[in-house]
Amino acid sequence: MSKLTKTALITGGSRGIGRACAVRLAKSGYQVYVTYVSSPEPALETCKMVEQSGGKASAFALDIGDYQAIVDFFKEKIKDQVFLDVLVNNAGQTKDGLLVRMSQEQWQQIINVNLNGSFFCLQQAAKIMMRQKTGRIINISSVTAQSGNPGQANYTAAKAGLIGLTKTAAQELAPRNITVNAVAPGFIETDMTASLNDEVKEKYQSMIPLKRFGSAEDIAETVAFLASPEASYITGQVLSINGGMYM
């Protein structure tokens, strides 16, 4: 790939919201880089979907819970290789449990992947974008960061941390023409929510004024907007895409 190829990097682009972001950003003309952690097949399927609609995509294994892996990835695949226009910090995990029963491992794993991993990707991207004097960083937070959610102390703390990180990074990076925003999805139909039982899903649906769950594409449209020239004066914001739901 050419050093000047405009590139959008989407962590966790193998499934769900990340995949939809990859397909949508490719339609905006970016070469997309997607990362995955479990198995390559879904990520390769994302690449196929992008290529079928005329775009370019590449998939990379990257555990964002591993600091050194992040540093190596940016050094080997991004820095001096591509023009990094957009980073979507999307990769995320849940490991729910009531807080009094939450193990140290359960807490640390979710903070490590959702918050630490996003920070270290943002840090690496910022160094490259500062030299470029332009860039867009979009952090995928959650409605639960704004409202809390019983059983998700680890996840909500990590996602709320991402909002604080977004606001600080926006101020530090603005002088280099880099915008940093967060998107806070509500209940979106992906693998992450597929395992919830019908009773829980009905409870959530009853709390959504628009009376439907969101789609990954709903989030991807917002991400594409934040990456677009039309959003160049928006930074440090949290866009809630939740059908009006506040738990």
Q: Which residues pair with 178 in a beta bridge?
A: 135
Q: At residue 95, what is the residue type? A: K
Q: Which is nearer to ligand NAP, 21 or 178 (CB)?
A: 21
Residue 114 beta carbon to ligand NAP: minimum distance, rounded to whole angstroms = 6
Q: How far apart are CA 23 and CA 222, in angstroms?
A: 13
30 counts as catalytic: no
CB 185 within 8 A of CB 17: yes
Q: Which is nearer to ligand NAP, 234 or 247 (CB)?
A: 247
Q: Which is nearer to ligand NAP, 65 or 135 (CB)?
A: 65
Q: How far apart are CA 240 and CA 145, in angstroms?
A: 11
Residue 175 beta carbon to ligand NAP: minimum distance, rounded to whole angstroms = 28
Q: Determine which one of 33, 67, 155, 204 is catalytic.
A: 155
Q: How far apart are CA 118 and CA 162, in angstroms?
A: 8
**CA 153 to chain CA centroid, nearest Å:** 19
Chain contacts with ligand NAP (rule: CB under 6 A): 11-12, 14-18, 35-38, 42, 62-65, 90-93, 113, 140, 142, 185, 187-188, 190-193
Residue 185 beta carbon to ligand NAP: minimum distance, rounded to whole angstroms = 4
E strand segments, 93-146 = 135-140
Task: Name residue, tokens 């555990």.
Answer: 63
The residue length of the chain stands at 247
Residue 105 beta carbon to ligand NAP: minimum distance, rounded to whole angstroms = 14
Residue 61 beta carbon to ligand NAP: minimum distance, rounded to whole angstroms = 8
Name the token pair of 188: 């979106």
Q: Which is nearer to ligand NAP, 63 or 96 (CB)?
A: 63
Q: Which is nearer to ligand NAP, 59 or 231 (CB)?
A: 59
Q: How far apart are CA 127 and CA 110, in angstroms?
A: 25
Which of 40, 154, 175 has its CA nearest to residue 103? Answer: 154
Q: How far apart are CA 80 and CA 242, in angstroms?
A: 38
Name the token pair of 8: 């959008």
Query: Which positions are catalytic?
Result: 155
